Amino acid sequence: MRQSHHRSVVLGTGSELPARVVTNAALEELVDTSDEWITTRTGIKERRVLEEGKGNADMAHRAAVRALHDAGVDPKDLDAIIMGTVTADYPFPSSACVLEDMLGARKAFSFDVNAACSGFLNALAVADSMIRTGMIRHALVVGSDALSRLLNWKDRTTCILFGDGAGAAVLGSVNDGHRGVLSAKLRTDGSYVKTLYVPAGGSLKPASAETVKKNEHTITMNGKEVFKVAVRSMEEISREALDEADIDVEQVSLVIPHQANLRIITALAERLKIPMSKVMVNLDRYGNTSAASVPIALDEARREGRIRHGDIVLLNAFGAGFAWGAAVVKF
């Protein structure tokens, strides 16, 4: 248990989903798959796809404006913008810089965090540490990804899983040891880099006519391996985060897990002995939105009245790297 009385509290949340809906039936037209297979193996029914000509920061901006409005915080009062993403508008600079300009958040320093589906958890942990040390007072933490841009729409093992979206939370410093982010734990295992990755487009293999021809700018994944390690790792790190916060699993009001696969979520809930009635699920509508999945679900949970004052919420995520994390937040 941490000794400091300065904590970061969630002052507001917001999210954005692109308008274009792609149903499982629509995917049946693209690859050899079926609504029945996708639904039973993943729980996903439809996902959103960002329109052409728009970038990640456009979605992040809408989510951020809603979160700032919800929090009652002016963009000019933000000290930091930290965005979890693997689909920034440009190879550099960061999408957080693009977002800073869109918001007119002139006082803030801004940067992206690359931790794939765990990006929001990593960004949250960084912002929380900066707030607790007194370095900053207000942070905008964002998870925003447009994985549709990295999909091979001819690969049925990956294109059915992912969708686009953005979620944001405004964190503020309070002098109250009893609420806010009670703990945050992060982990990686780099021996799994090639289990889930985009082979080309980085410094090792820059874009060329050949990499494009060989489809090396799209997601390559061993889904079975991801599944196995995801359940085990999210259980372990959730328990560590709960232990550090001195919270028993029975005290948790709601779990907000990364939305990758309903079977991963139900296996995790079983292992943690948490009933599914206490677990947030929205992947049927959005698929796996990478770094955006946890903050979108958090925002929906708050708007649906599923999080009340004093509630203890467990967030957890797992993704490429492998990178994973968990946080316990008291509202």
Tell me how far, at minimum, the Cβ of 38 lies from ligand COA, in Å: 6
Helix (H, G, I), strand (E, B) or coil at 150: helix
Please pick, from the candidates 156, 271, 278, 306, the single residue that binds ligand COA as defined by CB under 6 A.
156
Is 114:56 a contact under the CB 8 Å cutoff? no
Tell me how far, at minimum, the Cβ of 37 lies from ligand COA, in Å: 4
Strand pairing category for 180-188 and 323-330: antiparallel
Judged by CB under 6 A, the number of residues near ligand COA is 19
Tell me how far, at minimum, the Cβ of 103 lies from ligand COA, in Å: 28
> Angle at Cα 188 formed by Cα 184 and Cα 191, nearest 5°?
170
What part of residues 194-253 is at the interface with ligand COA (CB under 6 A)?
221, 223-224, 226-227
Please pick, from the candidates 157, 188, 253, 266, the single residue that binds ligand COA as defined by CB under 6 A.
157
Tell me how far, at minimum, the Cβ of 117 lies from ligand COA, in Å: 4
CA distances from 129 to 67, 136, 211, 246, 256 (A): 20, 9, 40, 18, 21
Name the residue number minimizing CB distance to ligand COA. 223
Task: Spell out the residues 6+ positions from residue 86 whose beta carbon is closer than 8 angstroms to its own.
Answer: 114, 116, 119, 145, 147, 150, 290, 291, 320
Q: Which of 254, 237, 240 is nearest to 329 (CA)?
A: 254
What part of residues 92-111 is at the interface with ligand COA (CB under 6 A)?
none
CA distance 305 to 300: 9
**Closer Cβ to ligand COA, 158 or 183, answer by number:** 158
Please pick, from the candidates 261, 302, 312, 326, the single residue that binds ligand COA as defined by CB under 6 A.
261
Tell me how far, at minimum, the Cβ of 137 lies from ligand COA, in Å: 32
> Angle at Cα 43 formed by Cα 123 and Cα 315, nearest 5°?
25
Q: Which of 79, 55, 182 is nearest to 140 (CA)?
A: 79
Residues with catalytic roles = 117, 258, 288
Binding of residue 41 to ligand COA (CB under 6 A): yes
Point out which residues bind ligand COA (CB under 6 A).
Answer: 33, 37-38, 41-42, 117, 156-157, 160-161, 221, 223-224, 226-227, 260-261, 288, 319
